[in-house]
Amino acid sequence: MRPREILFLFAIGAAGGLVGDAGNVQSGITQYMDSAGPLIWKSAWWFPLLVGLGTIATGVTRLRLGPTRPGFDPRIGVGAFAGVIAIYAASDIAFWNEGLSDSDSIGKVVLCSALALLVASFIADVPGILCGLGAAIAGPAVEIAIVNLDLSRYAPLTDGLFGVALWLPPLYFAFGVAVARITELIVARRTPAT
Amino acid sequence: MRPREILFLFAIGAAGGLVGDAGNVQSGITQYMDSAGPLIWKSAWWFPLLVGLGTIATGVTRLRLGPTRPGFDPRIGVGAFAGVIAIYAASDIAFWNEGLSDSDSIGKVVLCSALALLVASFIADVPGILCGLGAAIAGPAVEIAIVNLDLSRYAPLTDGLFGVALWLPPLYFAFGVAVARITELIVARRTPAT
Amino acid sequence: MRPREILFLFAIGAAGGLVGDAGNVQSGITQYMDSAGPLIWKSAWWFPLLVGLGTIATGVTRLRLGPTRPGFDPRIGVGAFAGVIAIYAASDIAFWNEGLSDSDSIGKVVLCSALALLVASFIADVPGILCGLGAAIAGPAVEIAIVNLDLSRYAPLTDGLFGVALWLPPLYFAFGVAVARITELIVARRTPAT
């Protein structure tokens, strides 16, 4: 990939991370510790950096997994980005009697999972699904490490996956699928197709 | 339909019912009475059975309503399934001041109805719409009977349709449309098309 | 446009306005003052009138912005309408700890914005985006004027845009994009295409 393309992937990843995380932090779902360092908007400075780098890594992985589909339409990229952000924001939604039960909201995990499958049903091919599965493992793993380093934490009752949220795997799955599709569009844009 | 195909319809119906109902039960929107018998996960044992049988009945009805569209793409089926589950999970969402009003949440009924129309706008043909309308009548009717048999009940303020939720008709409508489309895919898969 | 077509645009605008506003009013997000006059369902009588007229104005604007796309499929129109109504209803959703923060919910604004982009990603062309941007400016501007006339008001913490909700611009953007697309369908219906 060309430098401008890599920078673009970083930028949309960092921007999406900031926008989504702002809602999580404002709602109290996630909290940064004092040890996390200075903030950018509502996030610790390293959070958009990590998401941006993860976006680049996902795009590079996509290119290694096989040929990309032709056809450039920016609307597909906007839809892929917006679909992931919608799931991110859905994680801020309150569910009936959430917090009155003694465990994480099943409805929220189901909603985020269904929305992630919907995103994939519109844009995924096999390499995209692989990118999604990779992100669904790597993303939560990194977040679990961050929580264990006492840099951030999830609120009680939304921390059922080793201290992080149970809806992180579907969110990161959709992220991986979307980044793979956007990477395809970046390649297709070089030689505008049919 | 072939036995494997019928079993597949039963399985996705039962699985979807269990997943969606778990959120409804955990959130307190639906409650099974002691008389409902042993549970599978959060649901009375007969609930996934009924949904699975209803899925088969809907698929069989779809085949009787006319020829099916060609073209097999599993993503369409995943999207149809996920769209219905998303509506199911949306029924667990808390709405502003829900419960402070003295009647069921209009916003929730409107949201579930709009999402059901969205699902239909992507996948429905005329027979699919008929399957949706049939399910929108039969599904709530069976649930009203179940509530009247004192096997389960809906929480106050989400029981405005003769004791069951006002968002059940759009949920079942989307269910019927989706099962019709999935049935078409099952038929198309026998002879992989263009 | 023909009288019947203009009437149709008015009718879907007024109906959509009534349905969406009913949820806003019931949930307490918007409130009509006594000075607002008699109600239709939950809305002041002039609200569906204004939305209907705005729908006509948007459709007329769309026609002046260039040629429309061929192809008539009512499902596209149903999906466009339902997408906007879903965003409207999403504004009634409660968000985690909403109201405990001292500012409007970021998550709700992000969700409505992402859903508006999703609607646009499926149906927008350049003239449609222009209609959306125009509506995103004119709609909130009119609502700000209405609030300043003491005819209605938004609840505290959902009034961050000069007294109206921060999620109004994305809602009206989706409205403009959808009305533009529906107007295209109206034109395409005159001469059923490929």
Q: What is the pLDDT of residues C26-52, one digit of tens each?
A: 999 999 999 999 999 999 999 999 999
- Of residues C97 and B82, the one with the higher pLDDT is B82
Instruction: Return the bridge partners of A31, or none.
Output: A153
Neighbours of A134 (CB within 10 A): 19
How many angstroms separate the CA atoms of A110 and B22, rounded? Answer: 9
User: What pLDDT was estimated at residue B192?
Assistant: 58
**Nearest chain C Cα to A84, which residue?**
C114
Tokens linked to A16: 């999406």
- The helix/strand/coil state of A51 is helix
Share of chain C above pLDDT 70, in %: 98
| Least CB–CB distance from A121: residue in B24, B82, B98 | B82
| Least CB–CB distance from C117: residue in A78, A90, A94 | A78
Which of C111, C113, C115, C95 shows the shortest CA–CA distance to C103? C95
User: What pLDDT was estimated at residue A84?
Assistant: 98
Tokens linked to A139: 């993303």
User: Does the beta carbon of C22 lie under 8 angstroms from any beta carbon of chain B?
Assistant: yes
Q: Confirm if A89 and A47 have CB atoms less than 8 A apart.
A: no
Which of B31, B39, C31 shows the shortest CA–CA distance to A96? B31
What are the chain A neighbours of B22 within 8 Å (beta carbons)? 106, 110
pLDDT tens for each residue of C131-181: 999 999 999 999 999 999 999 999 999 999 999 999 999 999 999 999 999
Q: What is the mean pLDDT of chain C?
A: 96
> With bands split at pLDDT 50, 70 and 90, how would you rate the model's confidence at C194?
low
Task: Examine the pLDDT at B160 and tell me if it is beyond 90.
Answer: yes
Q: What share of chain B is helix, strand, coil (3-state, %, to 5)?
A: 65, 5, 25
CB pairs under 8 A between A and C: 84
> With bands split at pLDDT 50, 70 and 90, how would you rate the model's confidence at B194?
low
pLDDT (mean) for B162-184: 98
Task: Examine the pLDDT at C93 and tell me if it is beyond 70.
Answer: yes
What are the chain A neighbours of C98 within 8 Å (beta carbons)? 27, 94
Instruction: Return the bridge partners of A161, or none.
Output: A164
User: What pLDDT was estimated at residue C97?
Assistant: 86
User: Does the beta carbon of C7 lie under 8 angstroms from any beta carbon of chain A?
Assistant: no
User: What pLDDT was estimated at residue B10?
Assistant: 98
| Least CB–CB distance from B107: residue in C76, C89, C98 | C89
Residues 6+ apart with CB under 8 A from B23: A95, A105, A106, A107, A110, B88, B89, B91, B92
- The helix/strand/coil state of C71 is coil
Which of B29, B96, A43, B136 shows the shortest CA–CA distance to C167? B96
Tell me how far the alpha carbon of residue B81 is from its chain's centroid: 9
User: What pLDDT was estimated at residue B39?
Assistant: 97
How many angstroms separate the CA atoms of B34 and B31, rounded? Answer: 10
Task: Examine the pLDDT at C99 and tell me if it is beyond 80.
Answer: no
Which of B142, B144, B152, B116 shows the shortest CA–CA distance to B25? B152
Determine whether the interchain pair C101/A75 forms a contact, defined as Cβ–Cβ distance below 8 Å.
no
> With bands split at pLDDT 50, 70 and 90, how would you rate the model's confidence at A192?
low
Look up residue C34 and give its DSSP letter: G
How many angstroms separate the CA atoms of A164 and A180, rounded? Answer: 25
What are the chain C neighbours of A92 within 8 Å (beta carbons)? 95-96, 105-108, 110-111
- The helix/strand/coil state of C194 is coil
Tokens linked to B138: 């039969």
pTM, rounded to two decimals = 0.97
User: What pLDDT was estimated at residue A191?
Assistant: 78
What are the chain B neighbours of C82 within 8 Å (beta carbons)? 114-115, 117-118, 121
Residues 6+ apart with CB under 8 A from A179: A9, A13, A55, A58, A59, A62, A131, A135
User: Is residue B3 classed exposed, middle or buried when 0-12, 13-18 and 19+ CB atoms within 10 A define those classes?
Assistant: exposed
Q: Confirm if C97 and A27 have CB atoms less than 8 A apart.
A: yes
How many angstroms separate the CA atoms of B143 and B161, rounded? Answer: 10
Determine whether the interchain pair C85/B122 forms a contact, defined as Cβ–Cβ distance below 8 Å.
no
How many angstroms separate the CA atoms of C125 and C190, rounded? Answer: 21
pLDDT tens for each residue of A44-103: 999 999 999 999 999 999 999 999 999 999 999 999 999 999 999 999 999 998 877 889
Determine whether the interchain pair C110/A22 forms a contact, defined as Cβ–Cβ distance below 8 Å.
yes
Residue type at A11 in one-letter notation: A
Q: Confirm if C80 and C142 have CB atoms less than 8 A apart.
A: no
Tokens linked to B128: 């699919």
What are the chain A neighbours of B93 within 8 Å (beta carbons)? 93-96, 107, 111
User: What pLDDT was estimated at residue C41?
Assistant: 97
> With bands split at pLDDT 50, 70 and 90, how would you rate the model's confidence at C92?
very high
Tokens linked to B181: 């489309």
User: What pLDDT was estimated at residue A194?
Assistant: 52
Residues 6+ apart with CB under 8 A from A145: none
How many angstroms separate the CA atoms of A70 and A125, rounded? Answer: 13
Residues 6+ apart with CB under 8 A from B38: B44, B45
pLDDT (mean) for B114-125: 98
Complex ipTM value: 0.97
* DSSP class per residue in C99-136: TTSSS--HHHHHHHHHHHHHHHHHH--HHHHHHHHHHH
In angstroms, what CA-CA distances link A98 with A93, A105, C46? 10, 6, 38
pLDDT (mean) for B13-20: 98
Tokens linked to A43: 């996030």
Neighbours of A161 (CB within 10 A): 17
| Least CB–CB distance from C83: residue in B98, B110, B118 | B118
How many angstroms separate the CA atoms of A174 and A117, rounded? Answer: 8
Cα atoms in the Cβ-side hemisphere of radius 13 Å centred on B121: 20
CB pairs under 8 A between A and B: 85
Mutate which of C91, C111, C113, C126 to test chain A, going by most A C-beta atoms within 10 A? C111
> What are phi and psi for residue B161, nearest 5 degrees?
-110, 80
pLDDT tens for each residue of B67-97: 999 999 999 999 999 999 999 999 999 999 8
pLDDT (mean) for B117-138: 98
pLDDT (mean) for A126-142: 98
User: What pLDDT was estimated at residue C80?
Assistant: 98
Tell me how far the alpha carbon of residue A102 is from its chain's centroid: 27
> With bands split at pLDDT 50, 70 and 90, how would you rate the model's confidence at A25?
very high
Q: Confirm if A138 and A54 have CB atoms less than 8 A apart.
A: yes
Judged by CB atoms within 8 Å, which residues 39-78 of B form the interface with C?
none
User: Does the beta carbon of C19 lie under 8 angstroms from any beta carbon of chain B?
Assistant: yes
Share of chain B above pLDDT 70, in %: 98
How many angstroms separate the CA atoms of C98 and A167, rounded? Answer: 20
Tokens 């500012």 belong to C103
How many angstroms separate the CA atoms of B27 and A124, rounded? Answer: 32
Determine whether the interchain pair B114/C82 forms a contact, defined as Cβ–Cβ distance below 8 Å.
yes
| Least CB–CB distance from B124: residue in C20, C29, C75 | C75
Tokens linked to B113: 């109805």
Q: What share of chain C is helix, strand, coil (3-state, %, to 5)?
A: 65, 5, 25
Q: Confirm if A121 and B79 have CB atoms less than 8 A apart.
A: yes
